[in-house]
A and B are shown apart, each in its own frame.
Chain A
Amino acid sequence: MATKSGNATALTVLSPIKNGIMDDLSFADITRERCLRLPIHEKSPIARVPNTYLARLFVLDDVVYESLPGSDSVFNFSDITSFFSDTARKDALPRKDRLQSKYLVFSSNFYGDLDAYLTGVWEKWAYDDYGIQRDVRYIWEHCVAFDQVNDCSDFIGYIKKCQLDASLFFNGSTDDSLQEQLKSLYLKQEFTRFVVAHQGKSAAEIQQDFKEFVKRVQPENLNGPSWQPGQSMP
């Protein structure tokens, strides 16, 4: 499956969590709690990672798969005939499959290419966890082999090993850079306010004020007045 759609990239990461416990809690439960404690909206660490359109973190407990019966012609045949032994017949029945460990799932939609984005995750991911500053390592800490991740390039390599081909794109987004999209939303909102405030005024007055308006909102300046990533209130 394609992980690119124009300039947008879809990243799906499944990192196995170590089987085992620490202080009477499983590593999976510790990881899950850390995910649940993440601050949201403006304070979310993901809001600090440049160009994230939408991202999710959760712990996947298990995926139970039961194969379809009769998917193999030989065994299908064996299932309806009695001249094989009972063991052979049973072997042909649907198989169950389970995950060997629990997984930390990170699913993100973002602008640009993967390496640049993951560099952002490594460098910018930071949040206040009830008074203690945390970085991205805190979330992945109990994943298998994550203790070998020491720098940004290790992190990129690690994530790529855990990457899945997936194309779950967030429908509410274009493929423009996040800054571009936030600026557009800001401009749309401010322009609506401008229109409402100037309804019925003379063309000359509207033109005069529009010049002021443009000066204030600076449409070309992505770093200028805009919405903030993760902003929850207008």
Chain B
Amino acid sequence: MTQNLELTDIQGNIVKAYGAFNFTKARYLFLRIDNGDKGREFVGAVTTKVTSAVRWEKNSMPVATTNIGFTFSGLQALELPTASLMGFPEEFVMGMKGRKDILGDDGPSDPMYWDKIWQETVHIWLSINGQSIEAVDERYQWILKQIEASDGGVTLLTGHRGEKDEDNLPYQDASVLYDAEGKPTPKEHFGYTDGIGDAVFEGQTNIQARVLGRGKLTRSGHWEPLATGEFLLGHVDEAMDYPQTAPTPKLLAHNGTYMVYRKLHENVGSFNRFLDEQSKVFPGSKELLAAKFSGRWRDNGAPVVNAPDDASKAEWDKNYAAADFAGQKKMLIDFTYNDDIDGAKCPISAHIRRINPRGSLEYGVKDAYERPGALVDRRRILRRGLPYGKVKDPTRDDGNHGIIFMALNADIKRQFEFVQQQWINYANDFKEGNDKEVLLGNHDAKNPGKVVFQVEKGSGKAPHFVNNIPRLIEARGGDYFFIPSITALKMIAGGIVDPT
């Protein structure tokens, strides 16, 4: 039986990556609720514009979308019944700042250095994605009117850092990056192509074409969509159970999920210097080295496991150019590390291998687990988000540019936090000691990290060590949000959440 999702009830950002639908601009707003009654009224008003997951036909696509989520203190401020509040999981109640030790938000990523807005209590997250900045602004103006109409019920919080050294903006803007001709690109500020291999789960549309490399690996080497409950509350998950993170009543949780919002600053100057410095001693091109950091080549996202050196990349590019659209997609996503258990092709500390090791945690021991990805399938997240800011001087770290990273999952602790703590900032599962993931790891300036690029056994070559890895990504803010279903939004707005 295939799962039929209630698309009209689920918020659209959970099921769709708006970026893939030509929504090139986004604006994120954060609000505080000052009055429960008026705050609920505001939520009710916004709910009328909340974008559902319903399928868009060519001519029914909106020019702007709106989605909404709440922190734990936001739900308190909306006066949810105590019995409902008590059903939320510990990490959500604590919020992102309270989890800094788990997340490795230390040194320059410490919450004390985050944007000013995060020094305040945030209750509501509101997102606008638009096909143009005008469409975003129009929806923004509409929201401002609702805030105005709330008559002191909610306050739009200021304190985002901006382009021109402002530190008190009332919103966070994000946008795709454009190439020299002004065409939108899927790049981020380090030059990598982002968002290729997002997880696919049961109930999403067009599964057959998308599930390769993105779902779960079966014993026979096929890909199947992950269980819906990994990403939506109220549905069965990979453990054949309902997610344990759902509050009561059932309707409050059903078709909702949790979202991690993180503003990640990219130290572009450090990255460029580090890449230059390391490429002097690396046996291969600078682009190959950059590819080994991430697991994908920067220019077109070619998986380095299938194009592990400059010669094979040229071959891969030739095949890619000759392939049709579906064939190209397949080349980008349909791969495993089964023939690269030691990480000679794609280093074990490369970004995409750490985030999603596919079947490689079996270490080539066939049937070590029930499924090759048994240790991976419960640790997947849906990634959303866009770059923000512009790099004014590629030799410098300062400024305001990076990625607005959003992760959706049914269990923040089991999924997002586990990946961040165990797979990005630590490597015991990968048999790599305490080597951190190259790009996202919280590398310590006092004890700079290293990673090892293994070589093919019997090749007679020496493994390559990448050392002196600086902190390339710094957290600049964020929190954990509950993304309710549209039914639940109406219940919250109406003050009729009843856990009895």
Contact = CB atoms under 8 A, between A and B. Distances in A.
A6 interface: no
A201 to B, nearest CB: 10
A131 interface: no
Interface stretch (A16-24, A82-90, A191-199): A191-199
A192 B465 contact: yes
Given A199-B281, A199-B465, A192 B450 contact: yes
Contacts of A234: 447
B465 A196 contact: yes
A199 B465 CA distance: 8
Contacts of A200: 281
Contacts of B22: none
B219 interface: no
Interface residues of B, number: 7
Nearest to B463: A195
B465 A195 contact: yes
A195 B447 CA distance: 16
B222 interface: no
Interface string A186-213: 0000001001100110000000000000
Interface string B430-471: 000000000000000001001000000000001011010000
A196 B464 CA distance: 8
Interface string A3-28: 00000000000000000000000000
A212 to B, nearest CB: 19
A203 to B, nearest CB: 11
- By DSSP majority rule, is chain B's interface helix, strand, loop, or mixed? strand
A199 B464 CA distance: 8
Interface string B104-126: 00000000000000000000000
A130 to B, nearest CB: 26
B447 A196 contact: no
Contacts of A199: 281, 462, 464-465
Contacts of B464: 199
Nearest to B465: A196
A234 B447 CA distance: 8
B436 to A, nearest CB: 14
Contacts of B465: 192, 195-196, 199
Contacts of B462: 199
A205 to B, nearest CB: 14
Nearest to B450: A196
A113 B71 CA distance: 56
A219 B464 CA distance: 24
Contacts of B447: 234
Contacts of A196: 450, 465, 467
B486 to A, nearest CB: 48
Interface in B460-494: 462, 464-465, 467
Interface string A157-200: 00000000000000000000000000000000000100110011
Contacts of B467: 196
A216 B464 CA distance: 24
Interface in A209-234: 234
Nearest to A233: B447
12 contacts: A192-B450, A192-B465, A195-B465, A196-B450, A196-B465, A196-B467, A199-B281, A199-B462, A199-B464, A199-B465, A200-B281, A234-B447
Interface of B: 281, 447, 450, 462, 464-465, 467
Given A196-B450, A200-B281, 7 more contacts: A192-B450, A192-B465, A196-B465, A199-B281, A199-B462, A199-B464, A199-B465
Q: Which 4 A-B pairs have the closest CB atoms?
A: A196-B467, A196-B465, A200-B281, A199-B281
